[in-house]
Structure 1
Amino acid sequence: MSAFLKFALAMDWISAQLGKIAAWAVLAASLISAGNAFVRYGLDFSSNAWLEIQWYLFAATVMLGAPLVLKLNEHVRVDIIYGKLKRHGPVYVDLFGLLFFLLPVMGLLFWLTFPFFLNMLRSGEMSGNIGGLIRWPAALMMPLGFGAVFLQGVAEVIKRIAYLRGLIQMDTHYEKPVQ
């Protein structure tokens, strides 16, 4: 199990790094948005590239931030039943959701979006807007994000199994692994 736990810890670190990139993408998108508004309304000048880079940064924020949200156990779930479960109950619910919903969906989305990204990369597809940007960087965010969430989901499965086997401790309030 130690190799599996090392993988889980490595994936936690990768997700944290992707989360930092996502945080910087939020800042960059905000600054670009403010600058674009100033230039557009103050100087009466505009470019579609500025609007599109905001869209790209939003894609990076969502897709690169999602693995960290899963790692921190801050994702959306219905707590009506989950909150009333005691002891190992929430962990079993998490395992069920991870194994039967998250991993299959993220695997499918990765499988569907990777060829889409490759096609854009090979073709050099450009935005149809005047002054628009090349599209593959935005398309890259999909398989990268879905793949990272899939791998973080595997790490979460490993941590929950390790908890059930008594190999690691978890925060009982949030059911997060104690690092």
Structure 2
Amino acid sequence: MKPLLSLSALIDQINERVGQAVKWLILLMVIISSLNASVRYAFNYSSNAWLEVQWYLFATVFLLCAGYTLLRNEHIRIDVVCGRLARPTQIWIDILGTIFFLFPMVILIMTLAWPMFMKSFTHLEMSGDAGGLIRWPVKLLIPVGFFLLLLQGISELIKKIAILTGDIPDPGEHGHHHHTAADGEAA
């Protein structure tokens, strides 16, 4: 189990770093949005490119932080029933949900998104709006973001199995794991 926990720690570190870096784009998005609105009202001028930059930044945050959100256990859950179940049952629900819902959905979206990105990239697709931006970079975010989510799903699956086998302690319903590769223990 130690090699798998080391892999899990590496995946956690990747998504942690991506999340910490990408969250600064929210500030940039707010600044651009404020400036865009100010220019539009003060000078009666608007730019499709700047509007699309806002959309691209939102897409970047949303897609690249999906794995980070799962790592932090901040994703949307419906715990009305599950929250009343015994902790081992909750862990099994997470394991089965990851295997039968998260993984197939992520793989399907990545499979469908890659050809869409490639077509956009090879044709150098541009926005249909006047002054709009090139489209392939934002379309690349879809398979990349879902790949990061897939990796985090693998990490969470490893950790849930390790909890059930007693290899790491259970952080509880709302905790997330930070374990070291050297000892496999939760920190």
Q: Same fold (TM over 0.5)?
A: yes
SS at 1:25's partner residue?
Answer: helix
Instruction: Give 1:10's aligned residue.
Output: 10
2: distance between equivalents of 1:122 and 1:14? 29
The 1-side partners of 2:45 and 2:87 are apart by: 60
C-alpha distance in structure 2 between counterparts of 1:175 and 1:28, whole Å: 30
Q: How far 1:107 moved relative to its partner? A: 0.8
Q: Any residues of structure 2 matched to 1:103-122 within 5 Å, and which?
A: 103-122=103-122
Please tell me the residue identity of whatever aligns with 2:46.
S
Q: Is 1:96 aligned to 2:91, yes or no?
A: no
Pairwise CA distance, 1:175 = 5.2
5+ residue gaps, structure 1 = none
User: Any idea what the Cα deviations from partners look like across 1:103-128, whole Å, max 9, x if unmatched?
Assistant: 11001111110111111111110001
Identity %: 41
Inter-CA distance 28–144: structure 2 relative to 1 (3 Å threshold): same
Q: Hey, what's the Cα distance between the residues in 2 that align with 1:29 and 1:126?
A: 21
Residue 67 of structure 2: aligned partner: 67
* Alpha-carbon offset, residue 73 of structure 1: 1.3
Kept after mapping to 1: 8 A contact 2:72/2:175? no
Q: What pairs up with 1:15-54 in 2 under 5 angstroms?
A: 15-54=15-54
CA contact (8 A) 1:26 1:58 kept: yes
3-state SS of 1:170 partner: coil
CA contact (8 A) 1:91 1:160 kept: yes
Farther-moved stretch of structure 1 (15-24 vs 124-133): 15-24
How many angstroms apart in 2 are the aligned matches of 1:86 and 1:176? 18
TM-score (norm 2): 0.91
Deviations 1:132-176 (A, max 9, x none): 000011101100111111111011101111111111112124253
Instruction: Give distance in 2, aligned partners of 1:6 and 1:84.
Output: 32
CA distance in 2, matches of 1:140, 1:86: 41
2:170 maps to amino acid: M
The structural deviation recorded for 1:22 is 2.8
Q: Which residue of 2 aligns with 1:84?
A: 84
Pairwise CA RMSD of aligned residues? 1.3
Between Structure 1 and Structure 2, how many residues are aligned? 179
